[in-house]
Amino acid sequence: MPRLTKKDKRFIKPLPERVINKIAAGEVIERPAAVVKELVENAIDAGADNIEIFIEKSGAKLIKIVDNGCGIPEDQIEIAFSRHATSKIRNFDELNALYSYGFRGEALPSIASISRLRMVSRPYDAQTGIEIIYEGGVLQSKQPIAAAFGTTIEIENLFYNTPARRKFLKAESTETRHISRNAMGMALSRHDIGFSFTSNNKLVFSLPEESTLKERALAVLGQDKTLIEVSGEEGPVKLTGYIGVPEMVQQNRYGQFLFINSRYIQSPTIGHAFSAGYGEMMPRGRFPIGVLLLEVNVEDVDVNVHPTKAEVRLSQEREIHDAVYRIIKDKLRNDGIIPAFSTSTFSSSHETATNFNPPSGFIRGVNQNEVAHPNLLQELYRPFPNDQQSESETVQINKETGEIIPVEQPSPESMVNRPSSALEPPPSEIVSLESGFRLVGRFADLYLLLQVGRDLYVIDQHTAHERILFEENLTKVNNSSLEGQAMLFPVQIELDPQQFALFEESTEMFNKSGFEVTHFGGTTVNVTAIPSILKKKSPEKMFLRILDDIVSLKQSGYDLKKAMAQSIACRSAVMAGDRLTDKEATHLLERLLECKNMYACPHGRPTFIKMSREDLDRQFGRA
C-alpha cells in the first residue's frame, strides 16, 4: 500500500473482528508458551485438580490441554470465543481485587484467530459433551460428542496465518524450554493440583495432586538439591517457600520461581531482594535457587499492566522488597549453614578403588540427607570427647613384598600406663584449647586443619581473615576511625579519566578509611598516608587496586562504604604461602567465631568446610 500524503483523503472505519483478534493475539500470544500459560490458567480457574499438557514440535504443531474442571455448558461455549467474554469478573471494582488467574476474556478468541482450534467440553451435569472447531477465528463446526467430564482443547498449526510471527519463533529447543518453565511455574503455584507435561510423546514430568510444597519444589528443582524452608510475615507480605543453600547458586535466574498470590510472575524487585538476602554468602554474578510464594493484599497488586500478566505492579513495592530481604537474611543467618565436603560412595570395583575421583563440590550437612549442626559456635565449643578412639585396624606395609601386615593394637591398660609424653604429639603439630577444638595441621600454607570431636574442619586462612577484617573495617569506616600510616615520601599517581572520575566521587570515603589523598593537578593525585594494615604494601599498587575493586564492586550493587571495607580487607588479609604460627592460627579461628557471618568471605567464598569421620570412612570404603 503506497504511503499517503497530506492531500489524500482518509476514511476512519472500524476494523473487521478477525483483524482485531489477530492484533490482540499479537499482544497476548507472544509464543507457544503463552498459549500454554493462558489455557492452563483457565483450567485452574475452572476448578481442575488434574491438568495434562501435551506439545509437539515446541507447540507450533500441537498444544493440547486436558483438565477435569467444571466444563463449559453448550449454550455458553460459543460465547467463550467472543472477545472480552469472561466468567471471572462482572464490573470494574472486581478488576481491582482479582482472585482468578484470567479476567480479560481475550485468550480464547486470540488463540482461535491464529490457529486451528478444537475444544471438547462437558460439565458435570451434562449427559454429553460439545465439540467446537475454529480455524483462523472462523467457526467451522459445533456438535454434541461423547466426552469425559472437563475440557480438552487442541491447538494445531499455531501462527499458520501470521507468517511474520511464526518466522520469529526461536529454535525448537528454546521454545520448548519456555513452555517447560511455564509448566513448572504453574505446577509450583498450585502444588495441590496434579500436573503432567509431555513433549513429543516423551513424559517430562508427572506430579501427583495434593503434594507438599517441598515435594513439588524438589521435583522441579531437582531431588539432589538441599533446600531450606523459609517463612515469615512482615509488613504487607507473608512469605513461604524453599530456598537453596548458598553453595547451590547458579549463573542465571533459571532456578528462581516467584509467585504473588499463587500467580507465577517475573519481578526484578523481588528477584533482587531474594539475592540480596544471601549477602556475602553468595559470589557476585551468581543467583540463588528457590521457590518464593508471597501473599499480598489483592488490592495492592495490579496484574493488568502487561498483556501476558507475567509482570505486576505493587503499591508497596519498597516495603515488600525490604520484607523479603530481611526474612531470607534472618533465616540464613539463624539456620547455621555449614558447607560440608562431598564424598563419592565407595565402590568395591578395582577401577573405582584405584582411581581418584575428585569430590563433586560442597553439600550442606554430613551427607545429602542430613543437616549440619544448627549452631557452629555451640559445636566448636563442645567438649572434646576422649572416648572416640578409632575402631579401625592399624596396618604396616612390607616394602619388599607389598604385603599388608596387621599390627596389634595396644590395650587400654597399656595406653594408660604409657608416659604422657608418648601420648601427646609435638606442640608444633597439635594445639589443644579449652574451647574444645584442636589445630591438627596445615596444608599448602593456606588451609588450617581443625578437629572438633569426630569432625574435621578445613579453614581457608585467607577468606577467614578477609571476613574478619571486612567486618572490622566496615565498622571503622562507618565511624571514620580506620587508622592511617603517614608516608615518609608522598606518592603521585597518574589516573585515567574513569579512575579519576571515581576518585572525585569517593575522595571523602578514601580519607575516612585511613588514606590521605588530594588532587595534585590534572588527573594526578597525591597520596600522603595509607591504612596502617596496608603499610607493608606498595602505596601506589594498593591505591590503584582498591580503586579498581571499587569500580567492580559498585557495578555489582555494593555501596561505597562496603566496597571500600571489602577491598582493604582483601588486600590486607594473609595470603596463600603466609605461614601462621600456632598462636596466630588459633587466634584467627577465635576471631572468626566472633563474626556476624562466619561462613563466607565478602566475595561469597566459604571460609571453611566440614568433613565428618563418616565421610572419610565412605571415601575409603569403610562405611
pLDDT of residue 382: 34
Q: Could you give the 3-state DSSP secondary structure of residue 255?
A: coil
Numbered ranges of CATH 3.30.230.10 in the chain? 213-334
Cell, residue 276: 540480596
Place of cell 482468578: 100
**pTM of the shown model:** 0.58
Instruction: Mark out the alpha helices in 237-371 (DSSP H runs).
Output: 268-276, 317-334, 350-354
Q: Which one is predicted more confidently, 170 or 406?
A: 170
Share of the chain above pLDDT 90, in %: 25
Residue with cell 596396618: 395
Pairwise pLDDT comparison (282 vs 595), residue with the higher score: 595
Mean per-residue pLDDT for 106-130? 91
Q: Which of 61, 171, 56, 168 is nearest to 115 (CA)?
A: 61
Instruction: Tell me what pLDDT residue 154 has.
Output: 96
Most confident of 279-293, 349-363, 399-413: 279-293
pLDDT score for 150: 95
The residue-averaged pLDDT of 586-614 equals 85
The answer to whether residue 531 scores a pLDDT higher than 80 is: yes
3-state secondary structure of 535: coil
Look at residue 608 in the predicted model and tell me its pLDDT: 86
Helix boundaries (H) for 286-375:
317-334, 350-354
Residue identified by cell 599390627 is 407
Convert the pLDDT of each residue in 433-490 to its tens digit: 334 678 888 888 889 998 887 888 899 999 999 999 999 888 888 888 888 888 888 9
**Dihedral sign, Cα of residue 218, residue 220, residue 221, residue 224:** positive
Lowest mean pLDDT among 427-436, 506-515, 541-550: 427-436
Separation of alpha carbons 518 and 513, rounded Å? 14
At 343, give phi and psi (nearest 5°): -115, 145
> What's the pLDDT at 405?
43
Asked if pLDDT for residue 396 goes beyond 80, the answer is: no
Q: Which residue has the cell 498444544?
A: 63
Q: Please report the pLDDT score of residue 506 as a whole number.
A: 84
Contacts of 612 (CB under 8 A, 6+ apart): 340, 366, 454, 455, 456
Q: Is the pLDDT of residue 268 over 80?
A: yes
- Report the range of poorest mean pLDDT among 251-260, 278-287, 324-333: 278-287
Residue linked to cell 524450554: 177
Per-residue pLDDT, averaged over 237-244, amounts to 94
**Owner of C-alpha cell 555494593:** 558
Whose CA is closest to 198, among 60, 294, 58?
58
Q: Give 298-331 pLDDT, tens digit per residue.
A: 888 776 555 555 677 788 888 999 999 999 988 8
Inter-helix orientation angle 539-555/560-572, to 10°: 140
Highest mean pLDDT pick, 184-198, 431-445, 481-495, 595-609: 184-198
What is d(CA 489, CA 187) in angstroms, rounded to the nearest whole number?
67
> In this predicted structure, which of 80-89, 200-209, 329-338 has the lowest mean pLDDT?
80-89
**Contact between residue 385 and residue 453 where contact means Cβ atoms under 8 Å apart:** yes
Q: Name the fold adopted by 17-207.
A: Heat Shock Protein 90 (3.30.565)
487, burial (CB in 10 Å: exposed 0-12, middle 13-18, buried 19+): middle
pLDDT range class, residue 66, cuts 50, 70, 90 = very high
Buried b (16+ CB within 10 A) or exposed e, 254-292: ebbbbbbbbbbbebeebbebbbbbbbbbbbeeebbbbbb
Q: Can you tell me the mean pLDDT for 214-235?
A: 90
Residues 6+ positions from 14 with CB-CB distance below 8 Å: none
**Higher-scoring residue by pLDDT: 371, 105:** 105
Residue 142 pLDDT > 90: yes
Residue 421 has pLDDT above 50, yes or no: no
pLDDT-derived band at 426, boundaries 50, 70, 90 = very low
Angle between helices 582-593 and 461-478 (to 10 degrees): 60
Mean pLDDT of 46-59: 94
High-pLDDT (> 70) share of the chain, %: 73
Task: Name residues whose C-beta falls within 8 Å of residue 10's C-beta, 6 or more positions apart in sequence.
Answer: 4
Question: What is the reported pLDDT for 298?
Answer: 80
User: Which of 340-344, 352-356, 367-371, 484-488 is modeled with the greatest confidence?
Assistant: 484-488
Q: What is the pLDDT of residue 332?
A: 85
Q: Higher pLDDT residue, 308 or 128?
A: 128
Q: What is the DSSP string of 182-247?
A: HHHHHHHHTTTSEEEEEETTEEEEEE-SS--HHHHHHHHH-TT--EEEEEEEETTEEEEEEEE-GG
Cell numbers representing residue 38 in the block: 493462558
> For the chain, where do the domains classified as CATH 3.30.565.10 start and end?
17-207
Categorize the per-residue pLDDT at 21 as very low, low, confident or very high, splitting at 50, 70 and 90. low
State the Cα angle at 207 between 203 and 209, rounded to 5°: 145
Which CATH number is 213-334 given?
Answer: 3.30.230.10
Cα–Cα distance for residue pair 321/237, rounded to 1 Å: 9
Distance CA 3, CA 587 (A): 81
Q: Which amino acid is at 264?
A: Y
For residue 407, pLDDT over 50 is answered with no
Bridge partners of 150, per DSSP, are 122
At residue 352, the pLDDT reads 31
Residues facing residue 340 across a β-bridge: 363, 610
CA distance linking residue 546 with residue 568, whole number of Å: 7
Question: Which pLDDT score is estimated for 354?
Answer: 30
Pick from 21-30, 232-241, 340-349: least confident: 340-349
Could you give the residue ranges of the DSSP H alpha helices within 46-119? 74-77, 92-95, 107-113
Output the average pLDDT for the chain.
76
Note the pLDDT of residue 359: 32
The pLDDT of residue 96: 54
pLDDT value at residue 18: 60
Fold of 463-572: Ribosomal Protein S8; Chain: A, domain 1 (3.30.1370)
Are 569 and 434 contacting, i.e. CB atoms less than 8 angstroms apart?
no
Mean pLDDT of 109-136: 93
Residue reference for cell 501462527: 159
